[in-house]
Amino acid sequence: MTASSWLSILAICVLGAISPGPSLAAVMKSTVHGSRTHGLVTSISHALGIGIYAFLVAAGIGLVITETPWLFKFITYAGSAYLAWMGYKAITASSPLINDQRQLQQLSLKQAAMDGFLVSFLNPKIAIFFLALFSQFVTPDSTIMTQILMASIATLCDGVWYCMIASVAGHEKVLPALRKRATLINRLCGILLILVALRILVM
């Protein structure tokens, strides 16, 4: 592929990563209820889910997912249910106390990683996004290295962006202010997650 093609892929992946949605809500939730480390773990695991989707689509397997109605519906319903569950948990969560380290660390790193990965992996709309993007560049003679590079660009754009979000939100001068408003943040994130879950179902 030409340099302009790679730059186009990079630009679109960046725009897709910075678009607000359930991914941002998941990263913020992990950071506020855990720490900067929790937010970074969520960000990295989310990027891993993005990378898997990107590679599958680039390799042509994503087409199978979108053209198999029952599989697409199953992933859609599973993803919507998980987002709605996360939204409910966020809305009903208690506000963490700044001086109660046990309560602040109640979110395990394993759960933070699982939240980030499933938010991306259980969203079949991501497959459609990459199908629309990569269909302009993938050809029958595309090599495995080309496919890996395309998936790597998507993974890095997503991971770098959300790691930046987690790093800023988890800063020692920023995080206490966020925790003081944890109840409001939880409810906003929870409402956003539930709305996205409903939107996925009706689309």
- Residue with the bigger pLDDT between 3 and 42: it is 42
H helices of the chain, in order, are 3-18, 22-33, 36-58, 61-66, 69-92, 101-104, 109-121, 125-134, 144-169, 175-180, 182-202
Mean pLDDT of 1-12: 83
Q: Average pLDDT, stretch 120-144?
A: 77
CA distance 152 to 139: 18
**DSSP characters for 70-128?**
HHHHHHHHHHHHHHHHHHHHHHHPPPPPTT-HHHHT-S-HHHHHHHHHHHHHT-THHHH
Taking 50 as the threshold, does the pLDDT of residue 166 lie above it?
yes
In the chain, pLDDT over 70 holds for what percent of residues?
85
In 10 A of CB 9, how many CB atoms?
A: 21
Mean pLDDT of 84-111: 67
5: confidence class by pLDDT, cuts 50, 70, 90: confident
Residue 139: phi and psi, rounded to 5, are -125, 165
pLDDT of residue 63: 65
Q: Lowest-pLDDT range, 31-35, 111-115, 146-150?
A: 31-35
CB 58 within 8 A of CB 9: no
- Mean of pLDDT over the chain: 80
pLDDT band at 100 (very low <50, low <70, confident <90, very high): very low
pLDDT at 159: 94
Can you tell me the mean pLDDT for 51-58? 87
What pTM was computed for the model?
Answer: 0.76
